[in-house]
Structure 1
Amino acid sequence: MNWDMFLVMEFVGRWSLRDFIGGSPFSEAETRALMRQLLAGVRAMHAAGMAHRDIKPGNILVGAGCGLKICDLGMATTAPPPYEEFMVGTLWYNSPEQLTGRGQYDAKAADMWALGCVMVELLTGGPVFTSETAEEHLDELTDLRNYEIACQDSLAFRGLPGLSPAGCEVLAGLLAFDGDKRMKAETALQHRWLTEEADSPAVLECLAKLAS
């Protein structure tokens, strides 16, 4: 006898975070509220031993009250390296170590890099990179080697003069070129940018209206 298996899942809606960015930057307070959700989701995923490997705005669904849901786990893995020598995920959100093509990288650290790219996209309202090949993208990423030193002046991200020093610290930690030095989700959630600044009712109301 043949049996069909069905998974009954929550219906979030048809909108992704990509639909809401659309060229319009979020404020730092709004970005913090969204990143808090994403970091909590990735922390839970990593604690369960899973790495997503394709985090991007298009794979983040926006539900009621602007609740974010990370979806599309087609590239996710629970296995240790080595991984495939070909590129997985989406080029513009791949970490430097993923682009070497050797398959030797920390998949969880790669997720954190992708979250850093999402954070910049929220703050700028547009794609972080424009490269078309892995080689071009790796060349672009070399501009980030000194990002921890001059976060607000980074030409790679068109400058983020409105980002607070605390926010800059989190972004620099997520985009550390060396995967071994990259900030983990748990560490980011304990950073002062997220612990000292609560989401104000006005920000939450604004985001909820956006998703309605």
Structure 2
Amino acid sequence: MMALASGGLAEITAVPSNLATIAWDERVAHWRGAILGVHQMHLSTVAHRDLKAENCLLMAGTHNAIEVRVSDLGRSKDFGLAPTLPPWVYLGGLGDRSHAAPEFLYLQGGNSGDDFRLADLYGLGSLLAELATGHGMTSLALGSWNDVLRQAEIDLAAGVTRNLSTLRSQYKRACAEAVEDVPGVIRNDVATLLEQLCDPVPGGRLPRYSGRRTRREDGLKWLLDKADILGRRLQVEARKPSYRRRKGAV
């Protein structure tokens, strides 16, 4: 797969000048490609557990369009099988700490399938932040992950458990900053998605049905639908100037 790839998504997101040249319809398409990959994994009872731009390959797709493929499954887990490690190992997660969901940095991670799926939702939200700013949500909201983890280790030794909901104000500010350069037609939707997917309380990342946060049995189809809506709104907005020009000519 590496030999077939045209490059990695991080080659775009990590360089501001490169990211600035990518139109938002392409960014949304790249994000949708990552969602689709994770969706397929979850339907097969597999969680990625280390989502970030660095682990997304750019591949030549239909009509030579560049598509994203989720890669580097070295830390993935078939959550249909029983955990293989002691529970304490999962407290801090197994992925890249600089992109880790807050429950892992605060040593409150779990080892169930739901724990892993919710962490992947955070990873997809963080990837959207990378596509918007070049930085993952963890660094945007929490700053140095080393400092957070160091304090969490002190708290764990003292028997103190951080209430993750107290981090929501930090994440809300980070989400607002992340969408400053997002096109106006999708800015509010992107901000809402970031706040949901990167909610520091894991259960808050689920979609809401009948007033309750509920896990869907059809994987991430709901999130694919959200990405499609973003794409369509960008397409409609792109057509508006041509409509105005034709109307003016008449």
User: If the TM-score is normalised by the length of the shorter chain, which range does it land in?
Assistant: 0.7 to 0.9
Shift of 1:72: 0.9
**Do residues 89 (structure 1) and 103 (structure 2) align?**
no
Shift of 1:86: 4.6
Deviations 1:62-105 (A, max 9, x none): 11222111111111111366463454111121111222335415
Distance 2:59 2:77 in 1: 25
Aligned to 1:74: 74
Determine helix, strand or coil for the equivalent of 1:63: strand
Determine helix, strand or coil for the equivalent of 2:57: strand
Distance 1:196 1:156 in 2: 17
Contact 2:165–2:201 at 8 Å: present in 1 too?
no
Shift of 1:145: 0.5
Distance 2:57 2:98 in 1: 19
Determine helix, strand or coil for the equivalent of 1:61: strand
Q: 1:16 aligns with which of 8, 23, 35?
A: 8
Q: 2:104 aligns with which of 93, 98, 108?
A: 98
Distance 1:127 1:194 in 2: 22
Shift of 1:168: 1.7
Structure ranking higher on relative contact order (CA contacts 8 Å, 6+ apart): 1
Determine helix, strand or coil for the equivalent of 1:146: helix
Question: Between Structure 1 and Structure 2, which shows a larger proportion of strand residues?
Answer: 2
Determine helix, strand or coil for the equivalent of 1:190: helix
> How many matched pairs?
187
Distance 1:137 1:33 in 2: 38
| Structure-2 change in CA distance of 1:18 and 1:136 (3 Å) | farther
**Do residues 112 (structure 1) and 121 (structure 2) align?**
yes
Distance 2:2 2:130 in 1: 27
Q: Give me the TM-score of the superposition, normalised by structure 2.
A: 0.63
Shift of 1:109: 0.7
Which moved further from structure 2: 62-71 or 177-186? 177-186
| Structure-2 change in CA distance of 1:169 and 1:86 (3 Å) | closer
Q: Which runs of 5+ in 2 are unaligned?
A: 153-161, 208-219, 239-250
Aligned to 2:130: 121
| Structure-2 change in CA distance of 1:166 and 1:87 (3 Å) | closer
Contact 1:27–1:123 at 8 Å: present in 2 too?
no
Which moved further from structure 2: 68-77 or 18-27? 18-27
Percent identity for Structure 1 against Structure 2: 24
**Do residues 131 (structure 1) and 144 (structure 2) align?**
yes
Q: Considering only aligned residues, what root-mean-square deviation do their CA atoms show, in Å?
A: 3.2
Which moved further from structure 2: 182-191 or 62-71? 182-191
Deviations 1:141-175 (A, max 9, x none): 87850378xx5xx2477442244212222222211
| Structure-2 change in CA distance of 1:78 and 1:28 (3 Å) | same
The 5 A counterparts of 1:1-212 are 11-13=3-5, 15-21=7-13, 22-23=15-16, 24-25=19-20, 26-64=22-60, 65-79=65-79, 82=87, 84-104=90-110, 106-128=115-137, 129=139, 130-133=143-146, 134-135=148-149, 144-146=167-169, 151=172, 154-155=173-174, 158-163=177-182, 164-183=187-206, 185-191=220-226, 194-195=228-229, 197-198=231-232, 200=235
Bigger Rg over Cα: 2
Question: Between Structure 1 and Structure 2, which shows a larger proportion of helix residues?
Answer: 2
Determine helix, strand or coil for the equivalent of 2:169: coil
Q: Give me the TM-score of the superposition, normalised by structure 1.
A: 0.72
Determine helix, strand or coil for the equivalent of 2:132: helix
| Structure-2 change in CA distance of 1:15 and 1:47 (3 Å) | same
Aligned to 1:4: none
